[in-house]
Structure 1
Amino acid sequence: MHELPLVFLTVLAQGAVGIFICLGLVELLAKPGEKAMTRAFIASLVLLGVASVASVTHLGQPFRMFNVMFGLEHQSALSLEIVALSLFGGTAAAYTGMRLFNLMPGLRKLVLPVAMLSGLVFILAFTNVYTLKTVPTWNSGWTFFQFLMTAAVIGPVGAAALLRWQSAAAGRVQMTADKALATAGLMALIVSVTGYTGYLFWLGQLTVHANPLAVMDYHPVMAMVRIALLMTGLISSAVSSMRGNHKATGVGAICFLMVVAAELMGRIFFYDIFISASAGM
């Protein structure tokens, strides 16, 4: 699988967006402890940084990444993705820095929703890169759905794990936030699994030279393992929350890793089924 750097880039970056948005909603609605939330926001930026490093490693000559900016003149999808990444990373970092150094509280309240919105724009820019007419297996709304749902399933479980890690500093409101994030995770799970079923059905109906579902021998097993990991991770996180284990950091971390692993498998499948419209002709 030679596209592993892109697998990690897309999954981790979209996961970072999901975590940041979930933390932002907790901040706007619940107002947990200041230090706990600041550390959690920093952790989401670290995840985005790891994703950015992965994006550089897939380039043959990393220093040529700056040449991508010249594509803005022609509205290149890749160039717009880089701009969207910079916008989200910049606004998210600015907001986190303002929290860390307690700068301009009034302006900070405006920067947060801007950063959250720019995260959604970033996911949309990601989608634009892969929605290609020359690749029938990618050229549909299912690509946006998958990218969005990666953020939707990783976000709640990741944010919950971070707040559990900071439970002592977050205060009593962390318990309420933990339950709310668990509920959001379950809702995202239902939408994700239902949509994934529809996506596989759609793939099976495509008129291409090869069956996308049979490109690799390991795909059926990987699909089942992916669903099992996704369901186990999100349901276990929810059960732990409903039982009042709001400080179970280890459980939160394991559930987060399971969901991330599930999304990495789903993204490997996405890259594996690359089938050009001209292939086989």
Structure 2
Amino acid sequence: MHELPLVFFTVLAQGTVGLFLVLACLLMANSDANRQQLLNKLLMVVLVLLGISGAAAMTHLGQPLRAVNVIFGLEHLSALSVEIMTTSLFGGAVFTYVAMVHFGILPKLQKLVLAGAMGLGVLLLLAIANVYTLATVPAWNSGWTIFQFVMTAFVVGIPAAALMLRSQSVSLGAFQKNTDRALATLGFITLGLVLVGYPLYLFWLGQVDLPANPLGLFDYHGSLMLARLGLLFAGLGVWVIAATRGNNSAVGLAAVSTVLVLTAELCGRIFFYDLHMFASGM
């Protein structure tokens, strides 16, 4: 599909923001120097993932070298221009914080920069959702678009953070185990919100005045939705159950969970982009 690069960009960018917010909250709440050093190193993963998501978005452009034209769109507060600039500012803020910590620059201002990056991360989630809240696409033009995009950040970001922390379980010790259990609880709450919210979204979608049943728009849509819910439940459910029962250091389990939920969100996003077929005038 033509929108596949955007599928990867939106899911990876949102998941990366979720991962960053979890790690940033841990940094804000922790004063141990050794733990902070390890957590700061994990933020390099955030920069790598953000770079990959940005590269995916660039492949969608017919002429990538004209991406600089986004600056002119800011004059009219173009949603796409705001999204791209917010992505750049978020990445720049995370890089600035990592560089400040690595080189010991202005220690008293580091937490302020980290807080600013967290704020930009939240703005990025809203900016991406704003691009797709279009009156010309009735299936997108609702608060459910924001709900789905924000939930992706937590659905992907929480198990990804658990994976990153489990990779450092030897160094982090009891802190990692306690954090893993806390993340599992948060993951359970997130799973509950999605399993309640997504069926409600599909019910709302069925009430929208569309020329055809969105679940029957393509032959694979029904299977895609079942796969998304099944992968999501398996990915989060297995990890949450294992973590709450004391299995808090198995890196492989967290990796499988992250891959499953990432695949689930990609399935859901493909369905979402297919709904643009219902845009006015098409």
TM range (shorter): over 0.9
Distance (whole Å) between structure 1 residues aligned to residue 106 and residue 116 of structure 2: 16
**Match of residue 13 from structure 2:** 13
* Native 8 Å contact 1:164 1:246 kept in 2: yes
How do 1:13-32 and structure 2 match up within 5 A? Answer: 13-31=13-31
Distance (whole Å) between structure 2 residues aligned to residue 26 and residue 38 of structure 1: 10
Equivalent position amino acid for 2:64 in 1:
P
Q: Give the CA deviation at 1:30.
A: 4.0
Tell whether 2:223 aligns with 1:207: no
How do 1:139-158 and structure 2 match up within 5 A? Answer: 139-158=141-160
**Match of residue 99 from structure 1:** 101
Q: Give the CA deviation at 1:180.
A: 0.9
Tell whether 2:272 aligns with 1:278: no
* TM-score, normalising length: structure 2: 0.95
Equivalent position amino acid for 1:36 in 2:
L
How do 1:81-100 and structure 2 match up within 5 A? Answer: 81-100=83-102
**Match of residue 122 from structure 1:** 124
SS across alignment from 1:210: coil
Equivalent position amino acid for 2:280 in 1:
A
How do 1:33-72 and structure 2 match up within 5 A? Answer: 33-72=35-74
**Match of residue 195 from structure 2:** 193
Tell whether 2:198 aligns with 1:181: no
Distance (whole Å) between structure 2 residues aligned to residue 179 and residue 102 of structure 1: 32
Distance (whole Å) between structure 2 residues aligned to residue 111 and residue 170 of structure 1: 24
Distance (whole Å) between structure 2 residues aligned to residue 170 and residue 70 of structure 1: 47
Equivalent position amino acid for 1:101 in 2:
F
Equivalent position amino acid for 2:95 in 1:
A
Equivalent position amino acid for 1:8 in 2:
F
Runs of 4+ deviating beyond 3 Å = none
* Native 8 Å contact 1:130 1:143 kept in 2: yes
Distance (whole Å) between structure 2 residues aligned to residue 15 and residue 48 of structure 1: 9
SS across alignment from 1:100: helix
**Match of residue 171 from structure 1:** 173
SS across alignment from 1:273: helix
Between 1:13-22 and 1:126-135, the stretch displaced more is: 126-135
Between 1:142-151 and 1:213-222, the stretch displaced more is: 213-222
* Native 8 Å contact 2:27 2:36 kept in 1: no
Q: Give the CA deviation at 1:247.
A: 1.7
User: Where does the alignment leave 5 or more consecutive residues of structure 2 unmatched?
Assistant: none
Tell whether 2:4 aligns with 1:4: yes
Q: Give the CA deviation at 1:18.
A: 0.2
Question: What percentage of aligned pairs have identical amino acids?
Answer: 49
SS across alignment from 2:212: coil
Between 1:256-265 and 1:165-174, the stretch displaced more is: 165-174
* Native 8 Å contact 1:98 1:104 kept in 2: yes
**Match of residue 238 from structure 1:** 240
Equivalent position amino acid for 2:246 in 1:
G
Equivalent position amino acid for 1:117 in 2:
G
SS across alignment from 1:2: coil
Q: Decide which of 262, 268, 271 is 2:270's aligned counterpart.
A: 268
Equivalent position amino acid for 1:200 in 2:
L
Q: Give the CA deviation at 1:31.
A: 4.7
Equivalent position amino acid for 2:104 in 1:
N
Distance (whole Å) between structure 2 residues aligned to residue 93 and residue 6 of structure 1: 23
Equivalent position amino acid for 1:276 in 2:
A
Distance (whole Å) between structure 2 residues aligned to residue 95 and residue 240 of structure 1: 34
Q: Give the CA deviation at 1:40.
A: 1.5
Distance (whole Å) between structure 2 residues aligned to residue 103 and residue 168 of structure 1: 29
User: Where does the alignment leave 5 or more consecutive residues of structure 1 unmatched?
Assistant: none
Equivalent position amino acid for 1:28 in 2:
M
Q: Give the CA deviation at 1:235.
A: 1.4
Distance (whole Å) between structure 1 residues aligned to residue 29 and residue 234 of structure 2: 28
Equivalent position amino acid for 1:50 in 2:
I
Equivalent position amino acid for 1:4 in 2:
L
Q: Give the CA deviation at 1:86.
A: 1.3
Distance (whole Å) between structure 2 residues aligned to residue 55 and residue 31 of structure 1: 37
**Match of residue 260 from structure 2:** 258
Q: Give the CA deviation at 1:105.
A: 2.1
